[in-house]
Amino acid sequence: MLVAVASGKGGTGKTTLASSLALVAAEKGKVIFLDCDVEEPNGHIMLKPRWEKKEAVRVPVPEINQEKCTFCGRCAEICAFHALVVLPQEVLLFPTMCHGCGGCWHLCPAGAISPGWREIGLVEEGSSEGIGFVRGRLNVGEAISPPLIEAVKERCRPGELNILDAPPGTSCPVIRTVKGADFCLLVTEPTPFGLHDLELACEMVASLGVPCGVVVNRSDGDDRLIRQFCQQNNLPLLLQLPHDREVARGYARGIPAVKVRPEWKEYFAALLSFIEEGGCTGARTGGAQREGRHGQDYRLRESGRTGSR
């Protein structure tokens, strides 16, 4: 099973949630943590894996035979990403703009372009306390991360719980991470910024056809903004993690939330069972029903919530 942890807004707690979820899942079964935020991976700070192997990831890039080239300009004309410029006596390539689509080497009338390879980053694998760990690391200055994210996702293990820690936002790298997941947890914070970006993230996940549920981090105990949005959109609000100074202190020192607050483990366990028992279909067809069944198990601040009504 593939569970993606994403958020529209950055800094809401994706890695906090994903790392604690992995630790709790590892007590029951096999789990692998895949850090798909290849531009700024940080899951290793929480889970501290021992590295076992690494592999370079390459993407195709045009190689131009200047002797065969007639400088007709066709390649620059068809390049949708403006990676090629044809001067009167020279062809310039901007490798970081290239998406490796192959249009230029297929369409060059002089047959002067052939595919070459260019390294864009690394996939590293290891393990931590029984948790499989994979992360991608994009080389500095590279612009295009989806092929590296794809290489990370190729390390998913069927039959195990695969937790994909996504980059923030709603752009291509996030889409590449969430696409094909069985469930997506959207982490947010109870602020207007959190709500705004949650709305964008929900649209993105819906258009990918991936069922999702919402987790509020740094909950104020009420989270009215987020709660209303979830109700209006029939989204399950799965977990409200309190704003906790000790957890924040632990985070700053690279200590996962459930190690600071072992009593939180049961909430992560309930969240996992919700997803594994078909939260997927429940969330898609009607979150409210699911909420009713599981609500009290995984809500941390049930009393705060009802008390405010």
The answer to whether 131 and 23 are in contact (CB under 8 A) is yes
Helices marked H in 82-145 — which ranges?
103-107
Q: Kindly state whether residue 200 participates in binding other proteins, applying the rule CB under 8 A.
A: no
3-state SS assignment for residue 10: coil
User: With respect to other proteins, which residue has the nearer C-beta, 87 or 248?
Assistant: 87
From the list 30-38, 93-101, 260-268, 273-281, the region that binds other proteins by CB under 8 A is: 93-101
201 token code pair: 């993230």
CA distance 210 to 233: 15
From the list 12-20, 95-103, 115-123, 294-302, the region that binds other proteins by CB under 8 A is: 95-103
Q: Kindly state whether residue 71 participates in binding other proteins, applying the rule CB under 8 A.
A: no
Q: Kindly state whether residue 96 participates in binding other proteins, applying the rule CB under 8 A.
A: yes
User: CA torsion angle for 273, 178, 46, 169 (degrees, to 10)?
Assistant: -130
Out of 122, 143, 208, 255, point to the residue binding other proteins (CB under 8 A): 143
The answer to whether 64 and 112 are in contact (CB under 8 A) is yes
1 token code pair: 């099973």
Least distance between other proteins and beta carbon 146 (Å): 7
User: With respect to other proteins, which residue has the nearer C-beta, 45 or 85?
Assistant: 85
User: With respect to other proteins, which residue has the nearer C-beta, 90 or 154?
Assistant: 90
Out of 28, 82, 106, 157, point to the residue binding other proteins (CB under 8 A): 82
Least distance between other proteins and beta carbon 80 (Å): 8
Least distance between other proteins and beta carbon 297 (Å): 38
CA–CA–CA angle 138, 140, 143 (5° rounding): 70
In a 13 Å sphere around the CA of 109, the CA atoms on its Cβ side amount to 8
Q: Kindly state whether residue 85 participates in binding other proteins, applying the rule CB under 8 A.
A: yes
CA distance 261 to 290: 27
Out of 72, 92, 200, 288, point to the residue binding other proteins (CB under 8 A): 92
Out of 1, 48, 73, 116, point to the residue binding other proteins (CB under 8 A): 73
Q: According to CB under 8 A, which residues from 27 to 46 bind other proteins?
A: 39
From the list 1-9, 139-147, 214-222, 257-265, the region that binds other proteins by CB under 8 A is: 139-147
CA distance 126 to 50: 5
- For 214, counting Cβ atoms within 10 Å of its Cβ (0-12 exposed, 13-18 middle, 19+ buried), the class is buried
